[in-house]
Structure 1
Amino acid sequence: MEGVEPLCVGLHECSLNHIQTAEVKIDSNIVVLATNYEGALLARDAVHARWSAITPNSLAATVGPRDLILRIARGNHRLRLICWDLTHTPLLANWLRATRFNPDQPSCDPIAIQLAVPNFVAALERVETALIGPKQRLPLLIMSGVVEILSHLFTMESSPGLTPIPGDVAEPIARLIEAVKQERAASWPLKDAAEIAGYSPFHFSRVFKATVGFGFHEFVDRCRTELAVEKLLTTDAPIDYIATACGFGTTQGLRESTKEYLGLVPSELRAETEC
C-alpha cells in the first residue's frame, strides 16, 4: 500500500486456482472505495447473512466500523483500494450521516456496489490521472474524483451487474437493451432483435458489438446471469428453478455462465464461508 496522508492507495493483483475466504476488519470512520477491474468476489458484513457480488468492472464502497467476510473467486484479480479517515473530511462525514451508510448506525445495506460504466467513467479517469501526476497534488485530485463517486454510489440502490452499457447508446439499441432486460428468459433470436433495433441481422450484429463491446448473444447471456446471480444470493429458490426462470433451460447452462463471468458456480454462490 502507498500511504498518502490522509489517503492510503494500493493496487492489488493476484491469480487464484481455488476460491479463498478472507476476513477484513474496517475501523470506525474509515471509508474504503474499491475499483474492481478484473475478477469477482462476494462480500458480506459479519452480522448480515446476505452476500453481495462485486463483479468485474465495478465499484464498491463501505464505511467502518465493519467486519467483512470475503469469498474471492477463481481467476485473475486486479483491484485498487482507496482508504481514508473521515475525521480528515468532516464535510463528507456529515453528508454520509444523512445517507443509509451513516457510520454511527448499523446499515442493512453495508456495501454499495455499481458498475463503473457509465456513471463513474469521468471521475475514475480523474483518479487514474491523479495517480500518475505530481505527488504533492495527489490527495486533492484523488479526493475530487472520490467525492463525486461517493455522491452517486451512496445514494443509488446497489446494483452489481455484468452488462456495462456506455452512456451514449443510440435510441434503437437502447430500446432493444431495455426490452431484453425486461424479458431475459425469452429466446431472443438474432432476427427478432435486429427487427426491434431496425437493422438487417448482419448489420445489427456489427453495430451492437461496436456499441456495447460484446455480441448480442453474449449480452443476453450476461443479462440472464445477472438475474440468476441476484436470485441465488437473495432467495432460497432451487437452482434448477432459477436456471429455467432466467432462460437457461438447464442448470448446466447456468453453471457455465456463472463460472465464465464470475469464476463461481451456483452452489458456490450460496455456500457458507468455509470454502
Structure 2
Amino acid sequence: MSIFRVRISALLAACVVAAGLAGWANFTTGKAPSASTGGAQAAARSVTVYAAASLKSPFTEIASEFEAANPGTKVTLNFAGSSTLVSQITQGAPADVFASADSRNMAELSAAGLIDGTPINFATNVLTIAVPSTDPASLSSFTDLAKPGIRVVICEPQVPCGSATEKVQKATGTTLKPVSEESSVTDVLGKITSGEADAGLVYVTDVKTAGDKVKGISFSESNQAVNTYPIATVGSSKNTELANAFIGVVTGSEGKKVLGDAGFGAP
C-alpha cells in the first residue's frame, strides 16, 4: 500500500473520530460522498496549496500521487514568488497550505497571525548561474556576471532568490547590474531560455528541471546563501485536516524522495 494512502488514511481517520462526519469516513475509503452529505463536506475533499515557484516540479508530482492514492481528492496548486503568495494570502486568497522558499516570508505570515501552528522546514536550495546551453558569454564564476556587456537577470530583492542573490553579492564584494529583476525564479529562467539574457541566478533545482535548455555553472559562494523551505497550514483554511495530511506527505519519506530527486537538499 502506498505511503501516501497510509499517511492520509491515518490522519483522516482521526478526523472522523473527532468530528463524527460520515463524509470523512467516505473519504478514507476512497469513495465520493453522496449528494446528501452537502456542499460543506464536498469542499473538505479539496485542498489549495500556495507554493514557491521553484517547487512546481516536485509539488506537481506529490499532488498527483496524493490524488491517485485518494480517489475523489482534488489538490489545487498555485505557484508564484513567495512574496507574491504572501500578498495574496494577506489579501484573503483561499489558501489551505503555504510553502515558502525562505523563512522570512513565512515569518511575515506568522507574525500577522495567518499561519496555524508551527511551520515545518522540509527542504533547502542554493543558487547557481544559469546560461544558455551554448554559454555564448563563456562565464565561469559569480564575478564574471559583473563584466561589462553581460546581460544578467536576477530576482527582485523581496523574492527569496533575490534575497539570496544580495547575500552572495555581499559575500563576494560584487555588484551586479541586471537588465531586469523578476518576481519569481521561473521568470528568470524564462529570460535565459528565450535568449533575452546571457545569464541569470536561479536555484540548482531549476537548472535540473530545465534539462538541456540551459547549462548550470556552480560557484562556491552559493553556500553563503542557503535557502530553507518551510511549509504550514494557513490559519483561515476550512480544510485543515486535509491540509495537514498533504503537509505530512511533503515532510514524510515519500515527499523527501521526490524533493531529493528534484535536486533539493535536506533541511
- Where relative contact order (Cα < 8 A, 6+ residues apart) is larger, the structure is 2
The structure where helix makes up a greater share of residues is 2
TM-score by length of 2: 0.22
